[in-house]
Amino acid sequence: MPTIGVLALQGDVREHVRMLQEAGATAHAVRRPAELDAVDALVIPGGESTTMWKLAETFDMLQPLRMRVKEGMPAYGSCAGMIMLADRIEDGIAGQQTIGGIDMVVRRNAFGRQVDSFESDLDFAGGRVHAVFIRAPWVESLGADVEVLGRCEPGDRIVAVRQGPLLATSFHPELTGDARVHRYFVDMVREL
Ligand code: GLN
């Protein structure tokens, strides 16, 4: 059974831990470099990417996170977590940095402001899922090695991608009670 950490600098950590357990993984919060060393894979939750970046620097986690991702650790980023896994971002604040790893440009707050948050059904990796978007980003452009796993209206925007061991979604599957996205990630971790 893989051990999967949930980055617990900020965001809805408990919900992800619960969904990972339901999907058959051992899961716990990761706040410090030593805790990161102890996991096979990592979920980066939604929240606010500028805050997450600053906290990652404060807790001396940014470099260790970049190192693990570079070494091939599987990671799944949801919403702000998707932003954290993007090599490049649009509409970030001055100097905003990411962990990186996925060859894509992600636009922050792309679907509009907090009041424009919405829910929608969409195809994810061959199945229909109910997706919750909260001030969500979309993928503006991507490299040839990045696979599109999901799109959503309006605009047929790319909202789920995978590049090797890295998975990212604009939406929050931890809020729906449907563990399929987490199961997809746990299966990825098992296969890698
Ligand atoms: N808008 C947030 C950001 O830029 C992401 C929102 C979310 O994670 N629900 O980080």
pLDDT in tens, 6-54: 999 999 899 999 999 999 999 999 999 999 999 999 999 999 999 999 9
Of ligand 1's listed atoms, the one at least distance from the Cα of 51 is 10
Of ligand 1's listed atoms, the one at least distance from the Cα of 108 is 4
Q: What's the CA-to-centroid distance between 183 and ligand 1, angstroms?
A: 23
Helices of type H across the chain:
13-22, 33-37, 49-58, 62-70, 80-85, 180-191
Q: Which residues of 28-66 are buried (b: 16+ CB within 10 A; e: fewer)?
A: bebbebebbeebbbbbbbbbbbbebbbbbeeeebbebbb
Q: What is the pLDDT of residues 133-158, one digit of tens each?
A: 999 999 999 999 999 999 998 889 99
Q: Is 79 a catalytic residue?
A: yes
Beta 166-169 vs 138-142: how paired, if at all? unpaired
> Residue 114 — pLDDT band, cuts 50, 70, 90?
low
Q: Name the amino acid, one letter, at 192.
A: L
Q: What's the CA-to-centroid distance between 11 and ligand 1, angstroms?
A: 10
Q: Rounded to an integer, what distance in angstroms lies between the CA atom of residue 50 and that of residue 35?
A: 22
Q: Rounded to an integer, what distance in angstroms lies between the CA atom of residue 98 and that of residue 85?
A: 6
- What DSSP designation does 25 have? -
Is 134 assigned a ligand-binding role in the annotation? yes
This prediction has a pTM of 0.97
Q: What is the mean pLDDT of the chain?
A: 95
pLDDT of residue 113 exceeding 80: no
Is 135 assigned a ligand-binding role in the annotation? yes
Confidence at residue 112, expressed as pLDDT on a 0 to 100 scale: 80
Per DSSP, the chain holds a count of helices (H) and strands (E) of 6, 12
Mind listing the domains of the chain with CATH numbers?
A: 3-191 (3.40.50.880)
Q: What is the pLDDT of residues 40-98, one digit of tens each?
A: 999 999 999 999 999 999 999 999 999 999 999 999 999 999 999 999 999 999 999 99
* Omega within 30 of 0 (cis) for the link into 74: no
> Residue 192 — pLDDT band, cuts 50, 70, 90?
confident
> Residue 115 — pLDDT band, cuts 50, 70, 90?
low
